[in-house]
Every structure is written in C-alpha cells, then in structure tokens.
Amino acid sequence: MNTRTAFFPHPRHVGLLAAFRIKLGELRRGWQQAQAQRRTVARTTQELSGCTDRELAEIGLGRGDIPDVARGLFGRA
C-alpha cells in the first residue's frame, strides 16, 4: 500500500511561491546579463590589448585607457 501523498501547498503559500518564482527569474536574468557584460568586457580588453601602442595612439588611446574603454567608462573631456 502506498501511503505517499501528493504535495499541495497551503493556499496562503501559493502567492508566496509565485512571488519567489518571479524573484528567482529576475535574479537569473540579472545574473545572465552580468555574465554577458563580463564576456563583452573581456573580449574588448583582449582585442585592444592585442593592438600595438601605435595603433592605440591612432585611435586616441593609451594602454592605461583599455580597462575604462572595455567597461564603457572612457570619455573625453
């Protein structure tokens, strides 16, 4: 005889479970976006680091500017 019963959440908890699933989805999307941004920064850093000093100078950058450019923080005054 099987005495195992199905799990049915209490009606008060259904709303909490739904809110938890929504929040979990938001966190997952945020994590995925952060991962994509990190990949973009790494790819941009790698690409610019492969340039010669002369090539960087032609586009108005120095080696020290690469991290800021990769993160999108570089701006001209």
User: Taking the domains of the chain in order of start, what are their residue ranges?
Assistant: 15-71
The pLDDT, as a whole number, for residue 14 is 85
Model's pTM, two decimal places?
Answer: 0.70
What is the average pLDDT score of the chain? 90
Predicted confidence (pLDDT) at residue 1 exceeds the cutoff of 60: no
Burial class (CB in 10 A: 0-12, 13-18, 19+), 16: exposed
Q: Is residue 64 over pLDDT 70?
A: yes
pLDDT for position 13:
84
When pLDDT is cut at 50, 70 and 90, the band that residue 23 belongs to is very high
Give the model's pLDDT for residue 4.
63
